[in-house]
């Protein structure tokens, strides 16, 4: 594993090098074929899976923003999306389906504290009625929204304390620098996230990733990458003054809400809604400790390739994001004050074990 750093950087460089090409998908497929044991047809399918996932997250996020402009809340938007997914299910299956999502978000948050912070804290909230019907729908969706806020603050704390030092040893990659400099949610964002997801899949094929990522599907990898490189970019935009702190946190919560719905839709399409554990497992894979730490590592490692100046601003920005995130997720802070005060070494150790697979 000694050459992981060089190999991963070379893979990233080769993947983003085709961003300016006329036929991005074909060129990315060729990059996969050239660097793995996959033939062209399988490489093309892999690119399609990644592209569709990145497009779905982007579409969901922009749809959420449109709904908010029209006067809807984040909770109302999410309820509408969940209603669409479960509308043809029987009452019993519908209840189990929605409860599976809630349960796996609870497990993700509790395991995040246990696995990363080494402390057992129960952030779960027992609902008096778990039937997804009538007025109780709103209560359940409000709880999902609370869980996403908690997950966001935990991710921000991990990002803040990961302690990936930016140095001058990593030569700047122009395409990576451009990603951080262009506006959020541009077409280039989607292309870049697709390319980094391709690079991560190639790294997985070459056995450069930690065990926690080896069994992830292309869709899971894409959402983990989306979360990670988005967090790094939000931190940069906050540090250079393009975003204020509260907007940065709200943006991140909205993105996570869009990713949750994307995960639900993708898993339902891939596995069906009645296959026990599959949908919830898909959600947990992205929002749990393994996915969150991996996304943080990928985002930070990619940030190193943007040059010393941008890397330094990312480090500055993550601290600001974490500070405000803690103020909007009171359940985490009230339940885990000792965790928040003394997580540095535990997080650093957990994140470093993942980052080491990339050679950092």
- Model pLDDT, residue 351: 57
- Model pLDDT, residue 1: 43
- Model pLDDT, residue 350: 56
- Model pLDDT, residue 275: 57
Asked whether the beta carbons of 180 and 312 are under 8 A apart, the reply is no
Sign of CA dihedral 83, 85, 89, 91: negative
Determine the number of helices (DSSP H) and then strands (DSSP E) in the chain.
18, 0
- Model pLDDT, residue 238: 95
Which of these, 4, 31, 6, lies nearest to 199 by C-alpha position?
Answer: 31
- Model pLDDT, residue 119: 73
Q: CB neighbours (10 Å) of residue 144?
A: 19
**How far apart (Å, rounded) are the C-alpha atoms in residues 212 and 218?**
14
- Model pLDDT, residue 331: 54
**How far apart (Å, rounded) are the C-alpha atoms in residues 190 and 229?**
11
Q: CB neighbours (10 Å) of residue 127?
A: 14
Half-sphere exposure of 292 (CA within 13 A, CB side): 29
Query: Please, where are the H alpha helices in 70-135?
Result: 74-86, 91-111, 117
Tell me if the pTM is above 0.85. Answer: yes
- Model pLDDT, residue 153: 83
- Model pLDDT, residue 334: 58
Q: What is the mean pLDDT of each run of 10 residues along the chain (360 residues)?
A: 67 93 94 96 98 98 98 97 93 92 92 76 85 94 93 81 56 92 95 97 91 91 96 94 92 96 93 74 92 88 88 86 70 55 53 57
Query: Under the phi-then-psi rule, with left for phi > 0, alpha for psi from -120 to 50, and beta for the rest, what region is 272?
Result: left
């Amino acid at each position: 594993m000694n050459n992981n750093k060089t190999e991963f950087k070379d893979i990233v460089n080769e993947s983003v090098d085709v961003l300016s090409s006329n036929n991005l998908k074909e060129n990315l497929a060729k990059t996969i074929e050239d660097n793995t044991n996959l033939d062209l047809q399988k490489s093309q399918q892999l690119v399609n899976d990644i592209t569709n996932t990145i497009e779905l997250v982007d579409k969901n996020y922009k749809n959420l923003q449109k709904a908010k402009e029209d006067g809807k809340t984040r909770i109302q938007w999410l309820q509408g999306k969940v209603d669409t997914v479960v509308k043809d299910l029987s009452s019993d299956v519908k209840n189990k389906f929605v409860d599976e999502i809630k349960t796996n978000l609870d497990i993700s948050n509790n395991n995040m504290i246990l696995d990363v912070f080494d402390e057992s804290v129960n952030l779960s909230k027992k609902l008096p009625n778990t039937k997804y019907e009538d007025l109780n729908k709103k209560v359940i969706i409000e709880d999902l929204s609370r869980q996403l806020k908690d997950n966001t603050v935990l991710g921000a704390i991990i990002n803040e304390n990961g302690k990936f030092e930016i140095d001058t040893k990593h030569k700047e990659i122009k395409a990576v620098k451009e990603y951080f400099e262009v506006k959020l949610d541009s077409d280039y964002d989607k292309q870049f996230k697709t390319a980094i997801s391709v690079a991560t899949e190639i790294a997985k094929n070459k056995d450069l990733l930690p065990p926690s990522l080896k069994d992830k599907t292309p869709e899971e990898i894409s959402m983990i990458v989306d979360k990670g490189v988005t967090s790094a970019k939000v931190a940069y935009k906050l540090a250079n003054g393009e975003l204020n702190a509260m907007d940065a946190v709200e943006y991140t919560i909205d993105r996570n809400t869009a990713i949750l719905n994307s995960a639900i839709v993708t898993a339902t399409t891939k596995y069906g809604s009645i296959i026990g554990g599959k949908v919830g497992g898909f959600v947990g894979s992205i929002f749990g400790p393994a996915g969150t730490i991996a996304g943080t590592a990928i985002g930070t490692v990619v940030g190193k390739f943007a040059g010393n100046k941008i890397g330094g601003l990312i480090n500055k920005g993550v601290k600001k994001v974490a500070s405000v995130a803690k103020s909007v997720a009171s359940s985490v802070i009230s339940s885990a004050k000792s965790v928040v005060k003394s997580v540095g070494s535990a997080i650093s150790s957990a994140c470093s074990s993942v980052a080491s697979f990339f050679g950092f």
